[in-house]
Amino acid sequence: MIAKSAIVELLGRTPLFGSLDEAERRTIADEMREVTFDPGQVIFARGDAGREIYLVVSGRVRISVLTAEGRELSFAHAEPGSIFGEIAMLDGGPRSADATAVGKVSALSLSKPAFKRLMETEPPVAEAAVKFLCARIRDADQQLEGIALYPIEGRLARFFLAAARTKAPDLEEGRVTIDLPMSQSELALLIGASRPKVNTALSMLEQSGALERNGSRIICDLEELQAIAGAE
């Protein structure tokens, strides 16, 4: 049984509910239920109806899609404190990706009817949802801008900078270690480049000191990445 105070704290670390005060987050926590998933279990598949939103308590969930060639492209991992499945539930459309448990996963779920009720009775919750969706649109615009306007090393720098800021949102300088469980081919698909060019750009970022690679673990130097990405 997960303590209510722990759920409230976890909600406060999410981009969707982080702006709400403790009482509002406690109201949301009251509507959530505990769920568990076995290693390799498909939590939902692309095209499914979005009936629930999930908050990871322990373990990790792989978010992926199948390419036209039938390969699985893993583009994100939901770790403890992360919310996933929110887009389909908010807009009423089908799931846009598959979600699969990586190892044993403990999570909290919030049903669509409960979330709709919260938005109707708690105006700050509805406002938080609108702000969250607007932030997602901004992120998508920046990603498209990066593909269109920036060289490959700049796109990679922006990608790693975003991942590092997700891991440590309050850190403006220093080094952040992230886990990148995807191949260079998958990374190339994400930033709109070929695998050989991504390999060359990664080497350039390493030589500049912006990155340090150790298998799937990447140590990101925020200041160096900001300089290469052209960030202010």
User: To which residue do tokens 């389909």 refer?
Assistant: 88
Judge if 114 and 187 occupy the same domain: no
Structural domain ending residue among the three candidates 102, 136, 170: 136
> Where are any strands of DSSP class E within 162-204?
175-179
**pLDDT confidence of residue 232:** 43
Look up the domain containing 65 and give its range: 4-136
Mean pLDDT of 106-122: 93
Residue 1, C-beta contacts closer than 8 angstroms, at least 6 positions apart: 34
CATH for 173: 1.10.10.10
Which range, of 4-8, 55-59, 189-193, averages the lowest pLDDT? 189-193
Q: pLDDT category, 88, cuts 50, 70, 90?
A: confident
Q: pLDDT category, 96, cuts 50, 70, 90?
A: confident
Q: pLDDT category, 145, cuts 50, 70, 90?
A: low
Mean pLDDT of 131-145: 71
Number of domains in the chain: 2
Judged by DSSP in three states, 56 sits in: strand
Whether 118 and 27 have beta carbons less than 8 Å apart is answered as yes
Residue 192, C-beta contacts closer than 8 angstroms, at least 6 positions apart: 147, 155
Q: Is residue 34 included in any domain, yes or no? A: yes
Number of neighbours of residue 42 by Cβ within 10 angstroms? 11
CATH for 117: 2.60.120.10
How far, in Å, CA of 26 to CA of 20, rounded?
10
How far, in Å, CA of 14 to CA of 46, rounded?
23
Judge if 22 and 55 occupy the same domain: yes
Number of neighbours of residue 58 by Cβ within 10 angstroms? 13
Kind and range of the H or E run holding 75: strand 72-78
Q: Is residue 8 included in any domain, yes or no? A: yes
How far, in Å, CA of 167 to CA of 127, rounded?
24
Q: pLDDT category, 75, cuts 50, 70, 90?
A: low
How far, in Å, CA of 99 to CA of 80, rounded?
15
pLDDT at 147 over 70: no
Q: How far is CA 70 from the centre of its chain?
A: 23
Q: Is residue 142 included in any domain, yes or no? A: no
Mean pLDDT of 177-188: 79
Whether 116 and 190 have beta carbons less than 8 Å apart is answered as no
